[in-house]
Amino acid sequence: MSAILPAGTPAPEFALHVTPDQTLSLSELRGRPVILAFYPADWSPVCGDQMGLYNELLSEFQKFNAELLGISVDGVWCHEAFAKDRHYHFPLLADFEPKGAVAKLYGAYRDADGISERALFVIDKNGTIAWSYKSPVAVNPGADGILKALEDLPK
Amino acid sequence: MSTLKIPIRPEDHVQGDEHATTTLVEYGDYQCPHCGRAYPIVKKVQKHFGKRLRFIFRNFPLNEIHPDAEAAAETAEFAGSHGKYWEMHDLLFENQARFGLPLFEELAQRLGLDPAELRQALETGQYRAHVRSDFMSGARSGVNGTPTFFINGERLDGSWDYQDLVDSIEGAMAA
């Protein structure tokens, strides 16, 4: 049973594909808060699912100058189609090869299923995890924890 | 466990007895098919509990995937300012297949309201702040999709099929 990285831990660096030909690394975003949202898989049949919810709240996250990154083990083409279908305006990262490597770094990988947990991390502008939360995989955690964590960040 | 951050407030739309000890809050999107499915279930639940239950609907439009959801929410608020909130709420869910300004004007007309006044209200965004306020109250309370239900302020994380919803409400009543 893995435990996700707690608040106070430096956020492990990573670089993942965000489009078929571009990668994004966490260190590129140093200097602003980052919301890292691990989720199990693209294409859940629920409207207003977790990523959809955060998509609606981008302007709220932007008030804190925070960047939102969604991350699952799906590949780049899957992410591209999913983001287009749902009109997402934030990057989806492909934790595809090695499978779940970044999720494992954060203690957010479900070995038995081969997918990430529903784990949220708010990383402060200095690269330290300020808040983290793991939701039961069947429960969408919503955005209240993220909004509160962003508010609680030192200015 | 996520809890409702903003309890009942004056601008809420409340159905049912004000002395009811149990409150069911739904955050919904008028264009969402799941909310459409929940609509008759809520009605059945209300009938089942009668005076014991009070129901509040708050707006949670998912604008990126439901392009007419915001206008529908504002249309309901417009109707509400003329004392016809619940009538419009019901008509919207009963006509999900035909969403768009022409439908909203038709429904306004049907309720004896002025379609030109509705059009004006939508163009000027008269009710946008109210809808946004509902939306943010939901985001702050842990709304995680549509519909999201809160029973006596606690988010329902399980099924909202009729019997499950009744059981959850009964559970809250017994607590």
Q: Exposed, middle or buried, A133 (CB in 10 Å: 0-12/13-18/19+)?
A: middle
Closest of A92, A71, A69, A63 to residue A150, by C-alpha = A63
Q: What is the pLDDT of residues B99-124, one digit of tens each?
A: 999 999 999 999 999 999 999 999 99
CA A38 distance to own-chain centroid: 4
Give the residue, B52 or A45, on which the prediction is more confident: B52
Q: Is B87 helix (H, G, I), strand (E, B) or coil?
A: helix
Annotated catalytic residue: which of A47, A112, A138, A139?
A47
Is A47 tagged catalytic?
Answer: yes
Paired residues of A115 in beta bridges: A110
pLDDT, residue B2, reads 82
Q: Say whether residue A72 is in contact with chain B using an 8 A CB cutoff.
A: no
Tokens 């029973």: give the residue. Answer: B151
Q: Which domains does chain B have, with CATH numbers?
A: 21-174 (3.40.30.10)
CB contact under 8 A, A87 and B144: no
Tokens 């099929």: give the residue. Answer: B161
Q: What is the pTM of this model?
A: 0.89
Is the ipTM higher than 0.90? The answer is: no
Q: How distant, in Å, are the alpha carbons of A1, B75, B170 from that of A13?
A: 23, 48, 48
Query: Residue-wise pLDDT tens for chain A (155 aa)?
Result: 469 999 999 999 999 999 999 999 999 999 999 999 999 999 976 666 899 999 999 999 999 999 999 999 999 999 999 999 999 999 999 999 999 999 999 999 999 999 999 999 999 999 999 999 999 988 889 999 999 999 999 97
Q: What is the mean pLDDT of chain B?
A: 95
Residues A65, A120: Cα–Cα separation, whole Å: 17
Cβ-Cβ contacts under 8 Å, B146 against chain A: 47-48
Place domain A15-152 in its CATH homologous superfamily. Answer: Glutaredoxin (3.40.30.10)
Q: How distant, in Å, are the alpha carbons of A7, A49, B36 from that of A43?
A: 30, 9, 21
| Chain A residue closest in CA terms to B64 | A87
